[in-house]
Structure 1
Amino acid sequence: MNTQTLMRHPTDMLLVMAVVALPIGFAEAAQYAPYQGYVPDEVIVQYRDGANMLHAKSARQRLGLRVRRTLAQGQIELLEVPAFTDVPGVIAALRQQAEVAWAEPNYIRKRHAAFPNDPLFTHQWGLHSTGQANFATDDPELASIVGADMNLPQAWDRDGDDVADRTGNGNVIVAIIDDAIDTGHPDLAANIVPGADLAGDDADPNPENPILDHGTLVTGALGAIGDNGIGVAGVAWNVKLMPLKVGRIRDGEVILDSASILAAYDYARTHGARIINASYGGPDFSQAEFDAIRRLEQAGVLLVTSAGNSDSNLDYSVAAYPANYDASNIVTVAATNRQDNIASFSQYGPIATDVAAPGLQIVTTTVGGGWSTPNDCMNGGSCGVSGTSFASPYTAGVAALIAMTHPTATYREIKARLIEGAEDGVNGGDAGLLTAGGRIDADNSLDLTPGPSLVVHAVRLIDDGNHRLDPGESLTLEIDIENLWQPATNIEATLSVSGIPVTITSAPPPLAELGTGGRATLRFPARVGTPTVPHAEGDFALELRANAGGYQTQRHFRLELAKLALGMPRSARLSTGLHDEFHTYHLDLTTVPADNRLVFCTAAPADIDILVKRGTPPQYNIDLGAPPEDDPTYFTDADHIGGAEDGAERVVIDRPVAGTYYVTVLNYALEDQLEYTLETFLAPAGQDVRGATCSVEAQHRGSSSGGGVIGSGALVWAMVLLAARLRMSRRKTRQP
């Protein structure tokens, strides 16, 4: 049969003989030697339009070629070259086929990139992700995805000549406000400029105790010296690092207090810092801190800060500062994981959080001249360090590179470049959905052509007064947008919704112009349909176009659809994905009979809590799953808390008044796919609400210790919360 086939195509026989007899001096071969910039065992072939593909397949088989990949609907094939021949010979043979339009090598394109010689750089997946293994597991699904990084090797190489000529010129001061910094570390010392100890009122920012280690870890991520043959590479290799110590040890615990931080803000502002890194935060709004940050804004200083590690949407939970202050010079940073998603621990929010950067298993500098290597991670050793604390200095390092590359850039331009240059995430990563810009891409940000940068500043619901989505209602969505960079003209906007039954009925007219720093309001009428589940969250995608199509972007925000009704239990699931630990419902209570109490009950097989507040949704900042001995943060401004250590919570409000009550159910146990039921009802003052009246609780009574009754005893919780509010700012570090 093979003989018959060959005889029908006599030229094929000659080609096979020629190929088998290689090496042969085809005239074409000379053009590929001595340079061999192609894959040595692959060729690419394109077939002519109308080619007989059966003939092509037959010829391929006789030449010993195997298809590795098809492109262009089968018109182009990547072929594997057998070991007995070579690429030039196969190309010559293919070019004689009537079906072949052209054949050529599978050329190799060099990455125009610069790679440092630091020995631990191969572990720094956040700077260059090549598929490195996860330090803590052998699971290949948790290894790094190629490209899930900040694209630093390309950013460092300005001209594409493999020379690291854009790693910093030392002309920008970045202040690192943190517990302490080891200024003598061999990977940092040459970049350190004079700083101060603002907690101890002296000039020495070094740690007096090794537990003051956070600042050294942060500083190495930002500005460790690259290509010096030791340790790691920072994002910016040549940058002035101003260490400002604000940490002290009190009762064996490291604290960062507001007074010291305020002094550090002013020190940085008056000593030439253009950028500040603030890898810390707390749940309390501080007017003094806000005013200090506004002074930084007036001085043109950019403040880069970490979003936090409590896995909540800051657009909902709010209570995280300085991350959530309304100041245009703040860049709030979430953390991404090796799969280019927002990390499971990271706080986020497409309005409150500007960008994301790698924050899991980071290899960086440590106190005493060492590095946080992944040695023996799976045997109880180091796994690197994790947390938004390290996503922030990575971003601050890119901001420093922008400031050094574009010396006239204002803080607005730097912030805009970070946001506009960011990527959504490879392989469907969610950073673009859960932050304003996405995951940082340093090369994009550095090379951006100047233009507008339109972001969502705030969203309001103009409705019946509860400011929540209600089934069947018509309302108006008001979206405030802000332009961070160059003027935008003829701004057109459209809004789409997924995940919940909301229909946008019309779009606003175009905006004529929005200048630098300008804000405007877009109004979208909408109708809410009937949901199929008790709790749902919708993704709202705002498409913005300006400058005659020269600028286009998409911004997101999220809204919940979850309405309660008296006497109607609602059942749902928490933690159906990476970021689904908090559900907020609302109850519109129009009238209250005299001498009635308002009761909220829950049932779940694991520990959940409920936060109840009248008038506005509760704010919160809660370390989910943390054992009490770790002194976890449990902050909320809720009026009432159901906080028993099980799934049967009960909140009783003795003298309720009409209005909207908001109830946040939280998965304290961090159980995946945790089913729960929430019920609310009115009960006469004399009725025992500990009994079977709570129908959902009765269903789970066998596994319940009785729940927590919070009513007239709310004063006790208020005292607990007051104590919590006195806690100092916590360093935002997460251990893997």
Structure 2
Amino acid sequence: MRVLPPIIAALALVGLVVIPYRHHQNAEQEMREPHPRVTSVEASIPRINYIEQVKDIRRDLEKKSHIQTLHHNPRDRSHYVEHEVVVRFSPRPEQKKIDELVASLDAKIKRDFEQFLIIKSKSLTTKQLMKKLAEHPDSVFAEPNYLLLPNRKPNDTYYTEYQWNLPLIGMEQSWDVSEGSSDVIVAVVDTGVDLKHPEFAGKLVEGYNVLTDNNKPEDDNGHGTHVSGVIAAKTNNADGIAGMSWNSKLMPIKAIGADGSGSAVDIAQGIYWATDHGADVINLSVGNYTSSAALKEACRYAFEKNVILVAASGNDATNQPSYPAAYDEVLAVAAVDHRKERADFSNFGDYVDVAAPGVDIPSTYIYSDYASLSGTSMACPHVAALASLVRSVHPDMKNRDVMELIRQSATDLGAPGHDQLYGYGMINVNQTLRQAKPAKPARAETKQTTVGGLLNKFFMRLRFGFE
């Protein structure tokens, strides 16, 4: 395994800094009592403080003059790009009319996604652009260009020692039911994937880079590679880690850059592309506290195409709804630790559907490496992988039925029934798959076609009469 630079090695030894949930003071969380093996100084897999890195991304964004901040309350905030607007027309005007409109706004078309446009003005603010475009008779919506941030017994080398998360949710019994199907594709709309990582050899289908408009979704951040490994890293190959689905395919979609931030429009375009190219499940380990019309339309489009959408609830220990997780078409995932207790950082609220392991999760990382990360981003792919396993044993099950099965088969945690911290509870993969597996059809009586069988049938008819 590659030796990480000193700064990463140092991060591996630093405890995560999180915002505690103030109404749950007595809960001893994973951040205060780390997993003993994964966080040991002798561990082979480095522990990276990704939650603090995301906070750094936010701070860096807020220093940039062209980035505006929306404050939802004293602590939670969203960001958008000033002088830019996302607009959708229906019907779409002729290109000549669009060009004339853009010129009148002292603007240019920054990106054209067919479904919507990103328009950037030299002189008008985002609010001024929204007002003018809202007056257009064919405008369906005009909104800011919002930024989203990541919410981050096989024989594989690291499985027994480090992957506590998989036995916790019943994976070892579940692999007896299904190891996944190569016909099922899970799209990961994120920072891309390490295309040369040995854990993904033979596991990838064609992907897409939204940022550069090509089919090279190479990960230059690490987040997407980590998420992808949880879902479907090569398993039982006597090396590295084990993915939850041994046979499912991964579709990497790069919609987030090296700095860890991406726009709602880029995420939306990734959802459209994945849906149109055969994805059965889409993992969205990203979030923002302001709903985007473009993102919501993309989620609705995928849902209506029978795709299962899974998203992270967020890492700010707040009940502020995060999108896309809070959309009705999406399964929202909170995070728990190795003691099945809510992680300090995990967002909560009525929109949370289920919880999954999200603290000190070992998985793949860029440069053909491995790392341990924490976040609802890491909890989310556990649920996406479960959805892919359900589709493997019951390919005809509708997406809404898969989502409901995952909710109802979860292990109840916290207050009885659905609650704000855990939703319906922690996913129980074994229980879900056994409930999902179609009942075997009754064995049909075989017709006797031998000579003895025909003679027996003849004499029976002689006895009882021919019909």
Shorter chain as denominator, the TM-score bin is 0.5 to 0.7
Find the aligned partners of 1:406 and 1:436 in 2 and give their Cα distance: 24
Find the aligned partners of 2:436 and 2:285 in 1 and give their Cα distance: 30
Find the aligned partners of 2:300 and 2:337 in 1 and give their Cα distance: 32
Among candidates 172, 183, 191, match of residue 179 of structure 1: 191
Aligned to 1:359: 358
Query: How far off its partner does 1:368 sit?
Result: 1.1
Aligned to 1:293: 299
Aligned to 1:118: 156
Find the aligned partners of 1:182 and 1:368 in 2 and give their Cα distance: 7
Aligned to 2:240: 231
Among candidates 439, 450, 468, match of residue 426 of structure 2: 439
> Does the CA-based 8 Å contact 1:340-1:431 persist in structure 2?
no
State percent identity of aligned pairs.
35
Find the aligned partners of 1:247 and 1:333 in 2 and give their Cα distance: 20
Aligned to 1:246: 255
Query: How far off its partner does 1:259 sit?
Result: 2.3
Among candidates 282, 286, 289, match of residue 288 of structure 2: 282
Find the aligned partners of 1:333 and 1:398 in 2 and give their Cα distance: 12
Among candidates 203, 206, 217, match of residue 226 of structure 2: 217
1:408 and 2:393 equivalent? no
Count of aligned residue pairs for this structure pair = 284
Instruction: After the TM superposition, list the runs of 4 or more consecutive aligned residues in structure 1 that deviate by more than 6 angstroms.
Output: 428-431
What is the 5 A alignment of 1:696-735?
A: none
TM-score when scaled to structure 2? 0.59
Amino acid at match of 1:295: Y
Find the aligned partners of 2:367 and 2:437 in 1 and give their Cα distance: 43
> The residue matched to 1:414 in structure 2 has which SS?
helix
> Does the CA-based 8 Å contact 2:393-2:437 persist in structure 1?
no
Q: Deviations over 1:263-309 (max 9, x none)?
A: 11110111010110000011111011111111111111111000000
Cα gap change, 1:429 to 1:188, in 2 (>3 Å):
farther
Among candidates 172, 178, 183, match of residue 153 of structure 1: 172
Query: How far off its partner does 1:247 sit?
Result: 1.8
Among candidates 257, 267, 270, match of residue 273 of structure 2: 267
> The residue matched to 2:261 in structure 1 has which SS?
strand
What is the 5 A alignment of 1:130-141?
A: none
Cα gap change, 1:190 to 1:429, in 2 (>3 Å):
farther
Among candidates 206, 223, 227, match of residue 218 of structure 2: 206
Unaligned runs of 5+ in 2: 1-152, 439-467
> Does the CA-based 8 Å contact 1:119-1:230 persist in structure 2?
yes
Unaligned runs of 5+ in 1: 1-114, 129-148, 159-165, 373-383, 452-736
Amino acid at match of 1:213: G
Find the aligned partners of 1:414 and 1:355 in 2 and give their Cα distance: 13
1:417 and 2:405 equivalent? yes
> Does the CA-based 8 Å contact 2:394-2:436 persist in structure 1?
no
Find the aligned partners of 1:310 and 1:431 in 2 and give their Cα distance: 24
> Does the CA-based 8 Å contact 1:359-1:388 persist in structure 2?
yes
What root-mean-square deviation, in Å, do the aligned CA atoms of Structure 1 and Structure 2 show? 1.8
Amino acid at match of 2:217: P
> The residue matched to 1:401 in structure 2 has which SS?
helix
1:307 and 2:313 equivalent? yes
> The residue matched to 2:404 in structure 1 has which SS?
helix
Query: How far off its partner does 1:358 sit?
Result: 0.1
1:336 and 2:336 equivalent? yes
Query: How far off its partner does 1:449 sit?
Result: 6.5
Query: How far off its partner does 1:217 sit?
Result: 0.5
What is the 5 A alignment of 1:41-120?
A: 115-120=153-158
Q: Deviations over 1:424-452 (max 9, x none)?
A: 24xx799964233100000000111699x
> The residue matched to 2:272 in structure 1 has which SS?
helix
Find the aligned partners of 1:449 and 1:387 in 2 and give their Cα distance: 28
Q: Deviations over 1:322-370 (max 9, x none)?
A: 1112x2x310100001110111110122x30100000000000010111
Find the aligned partners of 1:277 and 1:258 in 2 and give their Cα distance: 15
Larger Rg: 1
Aligned to 1:256: 262
> The residue matched to 1:247 in structure 2 has which SS?
coil
Aligned to 1:324: 326
Aligned to 1:33: none
> Does the CA-based 8 Å contact 2:269-2:298 persist in structure 1?
no
Q: Deviations over 1:161-219 (max 9, x none)?
A: xxxxx111211111000012112211112211110111111110013x4xx11100100
Find the aligned partners of 2:260 and 2:242 in 1 and give their Cα distance: 28
Aligned to 1:535: none
Amino acid at match of 1:398: L
Cα gap change, 1:342 to 1:295, in 2 (>3 Å):
same
Amino acid at match of 1:230: D
Find the aligned partners of 2:188 and 2:337 in 1 and give their Cα distance: 24
Find the aligned partners of 2:347 and 2:402 in 1 and give their Cα distance: 23
> The residue matched to 2:214 in structure 1 has which SS?
coil
Cα gap change, 1:235 to 1:153, in 2 (>3 Å):
same
What is the 5 A alignment of 1:585-596?
A: none
Cα gap change, 1:265 to 1:449, in 2 (>3 Å):
closer
Amino acid at match of 1:330: V
Find the aligned partners of 1:291 and 1:432 in 2 and give their Cα distance: 27
Aligned to 2:53: none
Which structure: greater strand fraction? 1
> The residue matched to 2:252 in structure 1 has which SS?
strand
Query: How far off its partner does 1:413 sit?
Result: 1.6
> Does the CA-based 8 Å contact 2:208-2:252 persist in structure 1?
yes
> Does the CA-based 8 Å contact 1:432-1:439 persist in structure 2?
no
> The residue matched to 1:364 in structure 2 has which SS?
strand
> The residue matched to 1:394 in structure 2 has which SS?
helix
> Does the CA-based 8 Å contact 2:186-2:283 persist in structure 1?
yes
Cα gap change, 1:431 to 1:368, in 2 (>3 Å):
farther
Find the aligned partners of 1:202 and 1:450 in 2 and give their Cα distance: 38
> Does the CA-based 8 Å contact 2:207-2:252 persist in structure 1?
yes
Find the aligned partners of 1:215 and 1:404 in 2 and give their Cα distance: 23
Find the aligned partners of 1:274 and 1:332 in 2 and give their Cα distance: 17
Query: How far off its partner does 1:232 sit?
Result: 0.5
